[in-house]
A and B are shown apart, each in its own frame.
Chain A
Amino acid sequence: TQLLEQSPQFLSIQEGENLTVYCNSSSVFSSLQWYRQEPGEGPVLLVTVVTGGEVKKLKRLTFQFGDARKDSSLHITAAQPGDTGLYLCAGDLVESNYQLIWGAGTKLIIKP
């Protein structure tokens, strides 16, 4: 059983469309990280959210941490082919011990 559920697992849309990816759990996290991974490479950290209700923006990407710190979302506005990749969320459980809990990822393809 995945402690962190990501949805959708796969998303293929046209350039210019908007999309939202979700990361949900029944557990409380002290922080949550979002990464993007491209084929043949390791994940690259996009953002870390720490405070419940926090919203962070990275150009066309908007990240939100749920008020109860159990869930997070990533919204992409006007998606571009360069946004293509595997998006992963990883949470630091309040009682964690030097280990992140990882979601299975959302594979995103943006078609030109």
Chain B
Amino acid sequence: KAGVTQTPRYLIKTRGQQVTLSCSPISGHRSVSWYQQTPGQGLQFLFEYFSETQRNKGNFPGRFSGRQFSNSRSEMNVSTLELGDSALYLCASSLQGPSYEQYFGPGTRLTVT
């Protein structure tokens, strides 16, 4: 079974730009969660989608948004990038939700200059 894939793996953007990250979950998994990981803050929950519906959202500004498609693939978008948005963005898929076994992708390393 193919694992969780994330594209792109690396990205360099400048302040003020916007970015879209993509996540393809394991086949059959309907839940996708997004996380931001930084050395100072650790793993921070962004949002979780299940069957195209956002079920929960973390404490991030409205510049961070996401969506899920009917095939369970998910995207997250960050608008008006700030230097502090530099981080590893991880997505995780599971059958029913984060409480169940989660499988993480390798992440997208975003650098904002």
Contacts and interface: CB of A to CB of B under 8 A. Distances in A.
Interface of A: 30-31, 33, 35, 40-45, 48, 88, 90, 92, 96-100, 102-105
Interface range on chain B (Cβ under 8 Å from partner): 20 to 34
Given A88-B43, A92-B99, A104-B42, A99 B48 contact: yes
A47 B105 CA distance: 18
Contacts of B50: 98
Contact of A42 (B44, B98, B106): B106
A42 B105 contact: yes
B63 to A, nearest CB: 20
Interface of B: 4, 31, 42-45, 48, 50, 55-56, 58, 90, 92, 97-99, 101-107
A40 B104 contact: no
B24 to A, nearest CB: 13
Contact of B98 (A44, A88, A100): A100
A103 B37 CA distance: 12
Given A98-B56, A102-B45, A104-B42, A41 B106 contact: yes
B39 to A, nearest CB: 10
B56 A42 contact: no
Contacts of B31: 98
